[in-house]
């Protein structure tokens, strides 16, 4: 008889029909090679079954609900992108304010007043850039 | 949960009953907590959406088919990504990163077996994980991956044989 090969794994798993089991058992009685293979397969099976079972992270139970809410309305920009966009707007606003005021400050007549104004605003924006970004985030 | 009852399963119940198995399947197939977290999250989301159109039948087959498809979709997505590292902050983020304690809990657990498992060809790895980690029957595995039982039997056998060789 040829070696039963993959029937050996199925034997370990109780996945053989009674007829198959009888045939394999009879073969094993007379085949040392297959008995060795059965022992090897059993060792691999035990190693796999002995792998530690990890706990499900609790956060995963809540995640799909959150994701569903975010995608419930397709026209709504996902929170993650929206926040990034908010920061970009904040940065752009700060830059426009600073550049705009400095450029305008180069004008001739009201130069003195605008220069002062520009200095104050630019200083505020540059020294405390967090002010704009924090405000933008909160405004969301 | 009855396999062939008339009731459509409730997501909360499915998540509590199968969540841990799904996470362990994901971890053993991917080999790291970050990918396992993303995959399990994807599966639970697909289950939530799928339950709306779920026709009562073999629940195990349905669930693990979803799980397997989510994994394969993830692998395909990764393959499409450029191999050069993306600029910082430009990476594709599938969800919140797992907290450090989750990562710590997952490391150094059955490392040698896990490493040998990841060396197996996908078909064999999937079959032995479904059988020996998740605890599915050959029939359930056949249904989940849509192959004859004889193929399942062969894959499990060859997977264990290769694993045994790699474990030395």
Both tokens of B145, joined, read: 């991956």
pLDDT higher than threshold 70 for residue A130: no
Single pTM value for the model: 0.66
- What confidence tens digit (pLDDT) does each residue in B130-145 have? 999 999 999 999 999 9
Dist CA A62 CA B41 (whole Å): 9
Mean pLDDT value across chain B = 82
pLDDT digits (tens, 9 = 90+) for B98-138: 555 555 554 455 788 999 999 999 999 999 999 999 999 99
Cβ-based contacts of A6 with chain B (< 8 Å): 153-154, 156-158
Span A2-46, pLDDT tens digits: 899 889 999 999 999 999 999 999 999 999 999 999 999 999 999
Write b or e for each residue in A8-33: b if 16 or more Cβ atoms lie within 10 A of its Cβ, otherwise e.
Answer: bbbbbeebbeeeeeeebeebbeeeee
**CA of B36, closest CA in chain A: separation in Å?**
10
- Interface predicted TM-score (ipTM) of this complex, two decimals: 0.78
Do residues B102 and B37 touch, judged by C-beta distance below 8 A? Answer: yes
Closest-CA residue in chain B for A14? B137
Q: Best of B32, B106, B156 to disrupt the A interface by mutation (most A CBs within 10 Å)?
A: B156
- Site from B117, B131, B160 to mutate, A interface, most A CB atoms within 10 angstroms: B160
Residue A7 sits at the chain B interface (C-beta within 8 Å): yes
According to the 3-state scheme, what is the secondary structure of A2-70? CCCCHHHHHHHCCCCCHHHHHHHHHHHHHCHHHHHHHHHHHHHHHHHHCCCCCCCCCHHHHHHHHHHHH
Of B45, B153, B167, Cβ closest to residue A9: B153
Phi, psi angle pair for B92, to nearest 5°:
-80, 120
Residues of B in contact with A67 (CB under 8 A): 41, 45, 95
Please return the burial class of B126, using the count of CB atoms within 10 Å of its CB with bins 0-12, 13-18 and 19+: buried
- What does the block give as tokens for A67? 């994701």
- What is the reported pLDDT for B51? 85
Q: Considering only CB atoms, which chain A residues are within 8 Å of B158?
A: 6
pLDDT at B50: 87
Instruction: Give the confidence band of B74 by pLDDT, cuts at 50, 70, 90.
Output: confident
Subunit contact B160:A44, Cβ cutoff 8 A: yes
Q: What percent of chain B has pLDDT over 90?
A: 55
| Alpha helices for chain B (secondary structure H) | 11-30, 33-50, 59-80, 100-106, 111-119, 122-128, 138-145, 149-167
Residue A6: closest CA among B166, B122, B120, B158? B158
Strand stretches in chain A, DSSP E: none
What pLDDT, on a 0 to 100 scale, did the predictor assign at position A60?
Answer: 84
């Amino acid at each position: 008889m040829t070696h039963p090969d993959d029937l050996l794994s199925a034997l370990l798993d109780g996945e053989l029909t009674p007829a198959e089991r009888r045939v394999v058992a009879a073969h094993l009685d007379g085949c040392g090679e297959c008995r060795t293979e059965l022992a090897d397969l059993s060792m691999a099976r035990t190693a796999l079954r002995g792998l530690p079972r990890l706990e499900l992270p609790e956060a995963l139970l809540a995640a799909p609900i959150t994701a569903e809410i975010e995608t419930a309305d397709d026209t709504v920009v996902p929170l993650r992108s929206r926040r990034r966009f908010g920061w970009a707007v904040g940065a752009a606003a700060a830059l426009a304010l600073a550049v705009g005021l400095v450029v305008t400050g180069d004008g001739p007549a009201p130069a003195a007043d605008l220069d002062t104004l520009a200095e104050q605003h630019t200083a505020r924006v540059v020294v405390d850039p967090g002010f704009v970004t924090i405000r933008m985030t909160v405004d969301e | 949960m009855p396999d062939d009852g008339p009731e459509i399963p409730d997501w909360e119940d499915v998540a509590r009953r199968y969540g841990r198995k799904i996470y362990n399947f994901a971890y053993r197939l991917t080999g790291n907590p970050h990918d396992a977290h993303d995959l399990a999250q994807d599966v639970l989301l697909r289950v939530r959406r799928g339950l709306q159109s779920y026709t009562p039948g073999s629940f195990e087959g349905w669930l693990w088919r979803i799980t397997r498809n989510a994994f394969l979709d993830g692998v395909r997505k990764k393959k499409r990504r450029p191999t050069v590292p993306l600029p910082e902050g430009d990476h594709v983020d599938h969800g919140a990163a797992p907290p450090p304690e989750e990562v710590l809990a997952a490391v150094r657990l059955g490392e040698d077996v896990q490493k040998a498992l990841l060396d197996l060809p996908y078909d064999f790895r999937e079959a032995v994980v479904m059988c020996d980690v998740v605890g599915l029957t050959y029939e359930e595995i056949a249904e989940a991956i849509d192959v004859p039982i004889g193929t399942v039997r062969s894959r499990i056998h060859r997977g264990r044989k290769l694993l045994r060789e790699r474990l030395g």
